[in-house]
Structure 1
């Protein structure tokens, strides 16, 4: 029997088709009929024009509903959700002239350790895992802190950095517990420190191309210059609680082969020559090698990035937490842009971003992303907020996905354009309600289709097109007259052939719930 092509009603967007779940007190999340995805329900306020692209972030924290990676729109619509695992630093990067998704995956320990052990995964536009970057025991003798057994770990890469350079290499961080004499600083002679290292690695072969160690440069970066908020007397006595005096949290590479690194516990940005020596220090309280303008200060910063380099100057951005796990709530967290003049050795504030209507005190994590249209994204790390600022400093958008600081967080949050072409098929769910059939359809990660074609029939051989309906967000719903036994859907876009765009054939469930 061929069903009549009668469309009784097309439901609204997936914001309506999806239900929202949250036990009392938890942040709400979305649920769908055709997909197991459960993204957070973003509380979005838009006040101006945002840059093109999607919001790209991960979720962690003691009150998070699920540990996943998310690509979402400004309309609170899910585009893609990953499997559930421990993730960080999810973003779009370029590798071999193609956009790729990258993220860290592994085990992360919170305060007082604040580090992770894992690998970095790279995905193509189809969400296929094309490369994994790792550092194994066969390459380096690394001792993790926190009581972790190195014999049980496959890779030691920390979550703080996974940046692809213009050379097509990857910059990664590693924390290594190392025996060190701490008696000059009031600690034990046979003490233990967390040594911050970074590596530049070949993505395809995992070959180490460059290695830098903070402990190798204590003549230029003395341990007692650290501005620690965890006192030494509580640490350094064993491998489980070593003294983390440096805490490397970002690495950038310049065209001349030098590096810009950020140390949280020195409240400093260092420029390293290609051979690893310190060329200069930019310190947030005393300036280091630079004289600070009166309006510049920063503490416990993250995500130091090079914006422009001239003959005698450098422009940097950084995420100024200005808060810690021990002290917070006094100085608000900001994004700052500075110019460092290496001729006059002065530091000038170019721009500071803050939302006066919603002051944030992020104790850890966070990032500053400069967008092509001049807007800037601030991801607030341990505070579950993302804000986009316009060039004049006003807030174009804010998105919230958790309650108070430290309960739900995203190490870094971004906005990027992205075209997803998944190799997985669309998903469909159908159920019976009275004399009608309700059909729900979605395709996790797909970005190009505009409509859905719905097929129905009594057998696989007589499936026929019943209706074409416009795509409405992540999950689109439609109600068909009659009670067909079998349902199939196909994602469609004019003038584009989408491979694998047909779902499997499903049987309508009875009844709808």
Structure 2
């Protein structure tokens, strides 16, 4: 009874997804622990289509290596809008931190993905800008020139498919005469940026803050700040760079509370938009400690810019709530003006003291990552909150998160696992789990079994895809399993490798059936008279004919031998025996040709196969 109860339980829960409050596991990817989301929709009909591109991390600095088992959980991930995993790149990138993970539509006629692979803890690996194609294979791997230091985690902004913008941190020793300390020196981190050629990694343009931004503009240090050794004062802290069609650069400096426009020819600062002291503009708003300044539109002297107004850092808060802003800047008037077009306040009324970003979506919605805990929201253009989501575990955060439409077509085959359980022949079932990491076009799965490795596949059922991993339960002990991924138009887009079904140690599993252990069955005895999608080759037909001839020869020899044995028996009995043997010979021929006499069972339809599946869905997210 215990084992029967265990069998029933296995058929009424999602065995393939061991879920706790924070992380999810999968039978097909046993080393992966994917983060779970808490999601609330306020008006789902108005959210933009697309997937969430997130790169959760535990610590902003690279973690130390350890000999302990570490499940794959940080790094690049794609989720759908129900919080179901679409792709994890954590195994591909060795559980390392990844930043600025997003889609690039500026290369060729299909989407690509760009990201920053963080430098290693000992700096033996300086990190890279990486571009993946939509099969998740590395298309380009772009290093930073050695004299520019390690690859900074803030920015990898692919512009036209030929070049990318990156932020740069370099250190130099300076005198403190500007602060009235003529005899003192300190090390200084000079935040800057570079535009690099994606093909050759050649630096096309570079810029650094020192000599352009004086010490007096920093809000992070003052005349009394003690001098520091390497790496030195982080006095501007650049965290984003963008470029317009005129070739000028928009940069955000967190520790000066200023967004700058830098001339793309000679590097001089064209204007300063300061969040606390007005800078060069007449403006109707304030901001501070901002992130992720982006051109939404830039023509001549007129610019539409978005950014995240953190309004705080680890020590101070200039406002009571963080917000995403869309502003209009006009630099061709006297005085120059800047005004807020749209404001999106953090909906929980809190402050994002570190990191974060905002993204204007194609339908004019605003998607905002508030960083801590992976908190994300989507707003309508008018500022109405449509959705909020955050990780169930507050231990993880995003630096930035994005939302994009995307088609993923991995070259690797789907992952499949199958196992059998039961206590006797009447309740044997085969559980099948399948997933395809990164495939976005799957609508359903078809499942097949074979009598042997060389037999034709027989369809045993199908199931709709509703989650990253799909579980299907089939009657009987089936072996040699495969699964086909089917898109919304009914086309097969991928097939798993052939997999043998795992079985328990029957002696200790409660097996009470006939024999020491059960044997796999020929799937045609339960599911179909003729294998599906099969067209025998000439070689296969010859093999069948040879087997049939051998069976007939054996049957004939048996019949002749038996006849000789019973010749001395009475004629009536001989006639009965001959008739019985003739019927047996006919039956052998029928079986040899693949016929089945099934007076006890009707062949199930494809729809009935679906009902045989026991596939449990996760609770709906509200």
- Aligned partner of 2:553 in structure 1 is none
Deviations 1:204-242 (A, max 9, x none): 11111111111141xxx21111111x66766642114x1
Q: Which residue, out of 203, 208, 217, partners 1:213?
A: 208
- Aligned partner of 2:19 in structure 1 is 20
1:200 aligns with 2:195: yes
The answer (yes or no) to whether the contact 1:439–1:478 under 8 Å persists in 2 is yes
The answer (yes or no) to whether the contact 1:384–1:408 under 8 Å persists in 2 is yes
- Aligned partner of 2:41 in structure 1 is 46
1:238 aligns with 2:229: yes
Equivalent residues in 2 for 1:267-416, closer than 5 Å: 267-274=257-264, 275-293=266-284, 296-328=285-317, 331-342=320-331, 343=333, 344-356=335-347, 358-401=348-391, 407-416=395-404
The answer (yes or no) to whether the contact 1:260–1:304 under 8 Å persists in 2 is yes
The answer (yes or no) to whether the contact 1:121–1:131 under 8 Å persists in 2 is yes
CA-based RMSD:
2.8
- Cα shift at 1:50: 1.0
1:134 aligns with 2:122: no
- Aligned partner of 1:85 in structure 2 is 96
- Secondary structure (helix, strand or coil) at the match of 1:419 reads coil
Q: Which residue, out of 475, 482, 485, partners 1:491?
A: 485
- Aligned partner of 1:479 in structure 2 is 473
Q: Which residue, out of 407, 415, 424, partners 2:412?
A: 424
Distance of 1:366 and 1:108 partners within structure 2: 23
Higher RCO (Cα < 8 Å, 6 or more apart): 1
- Aligned partner of 1:446 in structure 2 is 439
What is the count of residue pairs matched by the alignment? 469
Larger Rg: 2
Relative to structure 2, which stretch is displaced further, 32-41 or 47-56? 32-41
- Aligned partner of 1:251 in structure 2 is 241
Deviations 1:160-200 (A, max 9, x none): 11111136310011111111113432677331001112111
Distance of 1:126 and 1:184 partners within structure 2: 54
Distance 1:174-1:498 versus aligned 2 partners, 3 A rule: farther
- Aligned partner of 1:96 in structure 2 is 107
Distance of 2:132 and 2:78 partners within structure 1: 14
- Secondary structure (helix, strand or coil) at the match of 2:352 reads coil
- Secondary structure (helix, strand or coil) at the match of 1:507 reads coil
Deviations 1:107-128 (A, max 9, x none): 389xxxxxx9521111001000
The answer (yes or no) to whether the contact 2:35–2:393 under 8 Å persists in 1 is no
Distance of 1:13 and 1:395 partners within structure 2: 35
Distance 1:62-1:272 versus aligned 2 partners, 3 A rule: closer
The answer (yes or no) to whether the contact 1:88–1:412 under 8 Å persists in 2 is yes
Compare the two structures and name the one with the higher strand fraction.
Answer: 1
- Aligned partner of 1:153 in structure 2 is none
Deviations 1:329-385 (A, max 9, x none): 9621100111112214121111110144x1231111111100111111001123420
The answer (yes or no) to whether the contact 2:365–2:378 under 8 Å persists in 1 is yes
Equivalent residues in 2 for 1:167-178, closer than 5 Å: 168-178=162-172
The answer (yes or no) to whether the contact 1:117–1:159 under 8 Å persists in 2 is no
- Secondary structure (helix, strand or coil) at the match of 2:454 reads helix
Relative to structure 2, which stretch is displaced further, 278-287 or 447-456? 447-456
- Cα shift at 1:292: 1.9
- Cα shift at 1:67: 1.6
- Cα shift at 1:431: 1.9
- Cα shift at 1:494: 5.7
- Secondary structure (helix, strand or coil) at the match of 2:178 reads helix
Deviations 1:68-109 (A, max 9, x none): 211001111100011221111100012423311111111389
- Secondary structure (helix, strand or coil) at the match of 1:461 reads coil
Distance of 2:492 and 2:162 partners within structure 1: 30
The answer (yes or no) to whether the contact 2:418–2:499 under 8 Å persists in 1 is no
1:508 aligns with 2:525: no
Deviations 1:38-69 (A, max 9, x none): 22111000111210000111011349983221
- Cα shift at 1:457: 2.8
The answer (yes or no) to whether the contact 2:485–2:493 under 8 Å persists in 1 is no
- Aligned partner of 1:122 in structure 2 is 131
Q: TM-score, normalised by structure 2?
A: 0.71
1:433 aligns with 2:421: yes
Point out where structure 1 has 5 or more consecutive residues left out of the alignment: 1-7, 23-27, 110-115, 143-155
Distance 1:428-1:126 versus aligned 2 partners, 3 A rule: same
Distance of 1:496 and 1:17 partners within structure 2: 25
- Aligned partner of 2:184 in structure 1 is 189
- Aligned partner of 2:452 in structure 1 is 459
Q: TM-score, normalised by structure 1?
A: 0.85
Distance of 1:363 and 1:108 partners within structure 2: 26
Distance of 1:389 and 1:305 partners within structure 2: 18
- Secondary structure (helix, strand or coil) at the match of 2:171 reads strand
The answer (yes or no) to whether the contact 2:373–2:397 under 8 Å persists in 1 is yes
- Aligned partner of 1:166 in structure 2 is 160
Deviations 1:118-175 (A, max 9, x none): 21111001000110111132xx264xxxxxxxxxxxxx22011111113631001111
Point out where structure 2 has 5 or more consecutive residues left out of the alignment: 1-7, 64-70, 423-427, 510-622
Distance of 1:284 and 1:486 partners within structure 2: 66
Distance 1:508-1:339 versus aligned 2 partners, 3 A rule: same
